[in-house]
Chain A
């Protein structure tokens, strides 16, 4: 079956612009996670949804970052007033409750 998909695969934006990154989880997976991966590092947790609600957003670096999952399926990560330091690969993962996390291919964000 289809895995986790993320769009776009690459996004180049100018400093100060707003971006949206989309994640389509595996059908039926109730949990959805966003991670950020900088070059040469392991993924770092940003936010976790159980259903429609954000169960844990402790990894969001500041209030420029926001994520939604209005119908409990697709999720969008939103970044306002982007900064060069936001450049990274943004990974999405989904799972059944308490189950293995399956990752998407990521969106590579470059802020110029």
Chain B
């Protein structure tokens, strides 16, 4: 079946540095991807999404890159701040199944002051 997976379960960065969180997916037909941020004790919060007709999409301090050739996407956070500390998930909806999301296991980002 479909799966998404993250390369590293934990990532520690210095405040002000850039962070890169990676994700791989298995289904080459997947055409929509979402990054969620989950802080302790809260539900996942939408950060940014990208469709397969794009290679790159930028938001406020965040950029998502999609490489369809190797079925890989990444989330880049510029000038990482303590408030960015959280678990980050990539997710993709299953095709033709009402949009239920398949999540990866998550990467826990820790920002050192």
Contact = CB atoms under 8 A, between A and B. Distances in A.
B98 A31 contact: yes
A105 B106 contact: no
Interface string B43-70: 1111001000000000000000000000
Given A4-B43, A43-B44, A101 B105 contact: no
Interface in B57-93: 89, 91
A41 B99 CA distance: 20
Interface residues of B, number: 22
A56 interface: yes
Interface in A57-112: 59, 91, 93, 95, 98, 100-106
Contact of A45 (B36, B45, B100, B106): B100
Contacts of B49: 100
Q: How large is the interface on A (under 10, 10 to 19, 20 to 34, 35 or more residues)?
A: 20 to 34
Contacts, number: 56
A40 B104 CA distance: 11
B11 to A, nearest CB: 15
A42 B89 contact: yes
A44 B44 contact: no
Nearest to B105: A42
26 contacts: A4-B43, A33-B100, A35-B101, A41-B105, A42-B89, A42-B105, A42-B106, A43-B44, A43-B103, A45-B101, A48-B98, A48-B99, A48-B100, A50-B98, A56-B98, A91-B44, A100-B46, A101-B99, A102-B46, A103-B43, A103-B44, A103-B45, A104-B43, A105-B41, A105-B43, A106-B42
